[in-house]
Amino acid sequence: MPKDLTSFFYPKSVAIIGASRSPEKVGAIVLKNIISSGFAGKIYPVNPNADTINNLKCFRDTASLPETPDLTVIATPAGQILEVIQELGKKGTKNVVVIAAGFKEAGAEGEKLEKELIGVSQKYNLSLLGPNCLGFVNNLCPINTTFGELVNKTGNLRFVTQSGAIAASIFDWCESIGLGFNEFVTLGNKAVLNENDILQYFFNQSKKNTAPIKKEGLSGARPIGLYLESISNGAEFLRIASQITAADPIFILKPGKTLAGAAAMMSHTGAMAGEDAVLEAVLNQANVIRCQTLEDFFDLARAFSWANVPIGPKMAVISNAGGPAVISADAVINEGLELAEFNSQTKDQLAKVLPRAAGIMNPVDVLGDALADRFAAAADIVLKNDEVHALLVILTPQIMTQIEKTAELIGGLAQKYKKPIFCSFIGGSLVAEGEKTLNKYQIPSFRFPERAIAAIAVMWRFKQRRDKPEEITTASKLKFSTQPKKIKKI
């Protein structure tokens, strides 16, 4: 039976083994982050050489703790971990985070140490996250057990990653654009808890709270982003991922296709590369979206969080420049989408608000001298058309362009219409403030239109497959019946 991780992610008390008064040490940063996250439960720093840390009473060891904490974060070196875990197990602790590196990713001695760690964890039935991980964040609790820097901002996203560095990058990127998330779990070496345990927990939580997300500016989905260097059990992943994607999208970045990538993974988290063709079949059958680059990963996080999936494949494009409009038209078709054909009513309305030289076909060219009101008038008319399922607004910074005002007016339209609106403000410093305004309204914005169109296409394909699961190819299913051992670990 899958473990119930509720007390892991919603602890009422937490101990920090290795809490420190030295601000640069991991134990000090973890303690500070737990306090600053707004955690409302009891906090027990453990350090034999301190009486108080951060105005909290400090305890010499786990035996002196006044209660068995719901969660223990261990921020001591790898060589001390086994002894600490033994003590915690005897005390009745069930939930542990091990941050230290120096286990199977570090060679034969480290691998031996990790096997012993697994044995002790199994003996005491511990839910152990790590080792070699950054910790986890639950902004709903709230609690931040990591030594990363982030702002507590809830949303609808959930992340699971094997890389602490990628987690830290996502923290910073999310803060820079105002993108919130609810849970963020870093797995590290996956000695005990792995991605399937976390996905099962996410699914269970979603079943408890079936009401759609109604926070202004967010999509109604609960997207999940995965960065995994290995999948622990392919059959189990297929089972739980398929259950989740029946409602919510999962997008994954999994490296290791090349020999160089596989070697790098081994030294990073000790992960072994699996067979990529089998992985592709698993992801295909589970309707999990595979990202090819980190850029894809970041794009889809923003798109699925801030925009509902389009109900159809027909796009409209509005631009103040002909070149980007032509490029976008090609990209729409190349991505398997369609340019919506405007009916006579839409074209007549556009002709009334646009100059004679403007283009009223799709893509709509509002011309280079377009001010904010012209952009907004054209977008309002296009969005009223039921044959338009998604809109891309392209802006190039010309001398008279009202960049921030245009972004404000588009933000108002996004609140009026619930169709996906994406923007591409092409340029650099001139469009930066406009992009900040779009972020404020939680409108997905991309520096180049092709990225926006690619994201919309991925969202549409996800919806197609989610709504018609019977169309998932039989070929992917056949791989599993003929290669059962290969699906077990990919």
Report the percentage of the chain scoring pLDDT > 70: 91
Q: What share of the chain is helix, strand, coil (3-state, %, to 5)?
A: 45, 15, 40
Question: E strands of 11-106, at which residues?
Answer: 13-17, 42-46, 52-53, 56-57, 71-74, 95-98
Q: How far apart are alpha carbons 231 and 160 in whole angstroms?
A: 12
pLDDT for residue 331 is more than 70: yes
- The tokens of 109 are what? 């001695």
Sequence-separated (6 or more) residues with CB below 8 Å from residue 117: 81, 82, 85, 98, 103, 128, 131, 191
Residue 410 is predicted with a pLDDT of 99
Query: What is the pTM for the complete model shown?
Result: 0.93
pLDDT band for position 490 (cuts 50, 70, 90): confident
Helices 234-245 and 276-286 pack at an angle, to 10 degrees, of 30
Query: Please, what are the domains in the chain?
Result: 310-467 (3.40.50.261)
pLDDT for residue 481 is more than 50: no
Residue 256 is predicted with a pLDDT of 73
188 φ/ψ sector (left φ>0, alpha ψ -120 to 50, else beta) = left
pLDDT-wise least confident of 1-10, 232-241, 389-398? 1-10
pLDDT band for position 484 (cuts 50, 70, 90): low
| pLDDT tens digits, 135-188 | 999 999 999 999 998 889 999 999 999 999 999 999 999 999 999 999 999 999
- Decide if 435 contacts 448 (C-beta within 8 A): no
Location of structure tokens 């707004």: 38
| pLDDT tens digits, 447-474 | 999 999 999 999 999 999 999 887 665 4
What single letter denotes the amino acid at residue 439?
N
What single letter denotes the amino acid at residue 419?
K
Mean pLDDT for 236-261 is 89
Mean pLDDT for 38-42 is 98
Q: Where are the alpha helices (DSSP H) in 354-416?
A: 372-384, 403-416
Phi, psi dihedral angles at 106 (to 5 degrees): -105, 10
Residue 475 is predicted with a pLDDT of 43
Q: What is the number of other CB atoms lying within 10 angstroms of the CB of residue 155?
A: 23
- The tokens of 203 are what? 């699914």
Mean pLDDT for 75-86 is 96
Q: Where are the alpha helices (DSSP H) in 134-233?
A: 164-177, 195-208
Helices 294-306 and 164-177 pack at an angle, to 10 degrees, of 50
Mean pLDDT for 223-227 is 99
pLDDT for residue 480 is more than 70: no
pLDDT band for position 487 (cuts 50, 70, 90): low
- Say which residue, 23 or 268, is predicted with more confidence: 23
Distances (CA, A) of 449 to 107, 301, 326, 376, 395: 45, 17, 11, 18, 10
Residue 265 is predicted with a pLDDT of 53
Sequence-separated (6 or more) residues with CB below 8 Å from residue 266: 105, 272
| pLDDT tens digits, 357-372 | 999 999 999 999 999 9
Whole-number average pLDDT of the chain: 93
- Closest CA relative to residue 28, chosen from 76, 61, 65: 76
| pLDDT tens digits, 291-308 | 999 999 999 999 999 999
| pLDDT tens digits, 416-440 | 998 999 999 999 999 999 999 999 9
What single letter denotes the amino acid at residue 146?
T
Where is 160: in which H helix or E strand?
Answer: strand 157-161
pLDDT band for position 259 (cuts 50, 70, 90): low
- The tokens of 420 are what? 């996906």
- Closest CA relative to residue 383, chosen from 414, 338, 423: 414
- Decide if 389 contacts 313 (C-beta within 8 A): yes
pLDDT band for position 1 (cuts 50, 70, 90): very low
Residue 482 is predicted with a pLDDT of 44
- Closest CA relative to residue 384, chosen from 355, 415, 419: 419
Residue 274 is predicted with a pLDDT of 59
